[in-house]
Amino acid sequence: MDNLFFENEYTMEKKFFKEYVYKVLSKKTIYLGLIIFILGMILFILIEEKPQIMLVLAILSGIVSILTPILTIKQLEETSKRLNNGKIEKTNVKFLNNIIMDEGKVHLEFEYSQINKIMQTKNFIVLKISNESAILVLKCGFIKGNEEEFLKYIEEKIKDNGEKMENYIHKINYYETDKMGITHHSNYIRWMEEARINFLEQIGFGYDKLEKDGIISPVIGVECEYKLSTTFGDFVEIEVKIEEFKGVKLTIKYIMKNINTNEIVLIGKTRHCFINRDNKPIILKKEFPEFDKKLKELVKCF
């Protein structure tokens, strides 16, 4: 069972939708529209010939800056109600080894590595995933933890994101799909190996180096949680993390995303031990202290 570090709960009232849209989601659109409107009007006044197109563009920009947030708020409210039988349900956000968000029937999971920016509004800590999506944390809505502790925690997580390795990308081949055109489930395990090899090479401890030093790391367990299907021609991005390492056994986590949709398609894990050429277990700190140190550093980042 994953440790629960923080838990937050709230109901998206009308004022919260407005706050999110005006201060985060549509903020740039509003400002840009108003700037174009003001500049257009100034130029229209100053230029003697009074080009009508300039006036029209200025007015349109002003209208867009006013209507965009209003329509966005309405769309967000309607979407939330549609997904939950006409009601706006409570949102519950749990921060474990990953982030779990539940809003009525809607269940979403995120990795900390998906957060690219932290913002704050009057009532919310906003964890931006992309320009169009974010995880909202109500400042006064903590069931476990508090605002100050959470900000320190999430800032450390974001800092760790900057130190992550380059993700491995796999283009799905035709032969990896079945008669229905869907990628066969067994291929994901092969991709884990490809990504793992790439990851170890990036940290300077590729399989060739390990085996040259007499260290073998067999797979002793595999775990796959299939989220969404993929098909021929899709590009799958695989992020690799060291989840657990205690000197003898190693657990590696894989987050696979479809680059085309930015959706997580699989979360997987592999478990490894370390043996020598005689198939006898070894303690990595004693046999290969540099590799032991590096793995422990990467666990802290996770």
> Residue ranges per domain, the chain?
6-161, 168-301
In the predicted structure, residue 193 carries a pLDDT above the cut 90:
yes
How does strand 124-128 pair with strand 134-138?
antiparallel
Architecture of domain 6-161: Roll (2.30)
In the predicted structure, residue 213 carries a pLDDT above the cut 90:
no
How confident is the model at residue 301, as a pLDDT? 60
CATH topology of domain 168-301: Thiol Ester Dehydrase; Chain A (3.10.129)
Tell me the H-state helices in 47-133. 52-83
Q: 300 pLDDT band (50/70/90 cuts)? A: low
**Do 61 and 44 meet the contact criterion of CB atoms below 8 Å apart?**
no
What are the structure tokens assigned to 33, written together? 């529209």
**Do 266 and 226 meet the contact criterion of CB atoms below 8 Å apart?**
yes
Of the two residues 131 and 249, the one the predictor is more confident about is 249
Per residue in 251-260, pLDDT tens? 999 999 999 8
Count of Cβ atoms closer than 10 Å to residue 34 Cβ:
15
Q: What is the mean pLDDT of the chain?
A: 88
In the predicted structure, residue 161 carries a pLDDT above the cut 70:
no
What are the structure tokens assigned to 87, written together? 């009601």
For the question of whether the overall pTM of this predicted structure is more than 0.75, the answer is no
Average pLDDT on 237-264 reads 93
How confident is the model at residue 190, as a pLDDT? 96
